[in-house]
Amino acid sequence: MDLGGTKIAAGLVGTDGRIRHSVSAPTPALQGPGAVLDAVASAVAELTGDDVRAVGVGGAGAIDARTGTVLSATDALPGWTGTRLTAELRQRTGLPVAVDNDVRAHALGEAWQGGAAGRSPVLFLAVGTGVGAALLVDGAPQRGARSVAGH
């Protein structure tokens, strides 16, 4: 799932990397973190008719993937800093949840099934609502001491 400042895009991805079903919705950013988390949970619910086993989220801002907490965010998502993404989404969906920075998650996808497959190191640059980067070495994301390496 891609959780951005303007749009939430979710897809059911098979073990082969193919998207089986997808949904998207505007991010209700100005309504606060609770509304954003509810919208993410709604997107997951739209996919649960399929065989959803876990939720993976690439979210805007600096995210500590170990704790699942947003460390800092831009004004595109007011109040987002400090949001406990993993815990809140696990509570709302009842599913295992893994979260990371959106650009880092995208880079991992490219290393798994895309143009970066089999390559190292990989520097991935994304330009969208914001600008971000991710660095992978031997397929592993380089996070840095504050979870912003490459960013």
**Run means of pLDDT, 10 residues per run, the chain, 151 residues:** 94 91 96 97 86 91 94 90 97 96 94 93 87 92 84 70
Q: Is the pTM above the cut of 0.75?
A: yes
In a domain, 52, yes or no: yes
Cis peptide, bond prior to residue 96, ω within 30 of zero: no
In a domain, 117, yes or no: no
In a domain, 138, yes or no: no
> What pLDDT is attached to residue 50?
61
Kindly calculate the radius of gyration of the chain based on its CA atoms and give it in whole angstroms.
15
Q: Which of 110, 106, 93 is nearest to 54 (CA)?
A: 93
49's tokens: 């008719």
In a domain, 41, yes or no: yes
Contact 24, 3 (CB under 8 A): no
> What pLDDT is attached to residue 105?
95
- The total number of structural domains that make up the chain: 1
Q: In which domain, by residue range, is 41 found?
A: 2-101
In a domain, 128, yes or no: no
Q: How many CA atoms lie within 13 A of 12 on its CB side?
A: 13
CATH code assigned at 95: 3.30.420.40
In a domain, 136, yes or no: no
Q: Could you give the CA distance from residue 115 to residue 124 in angstroms, rounded to a whole number?
A: 11
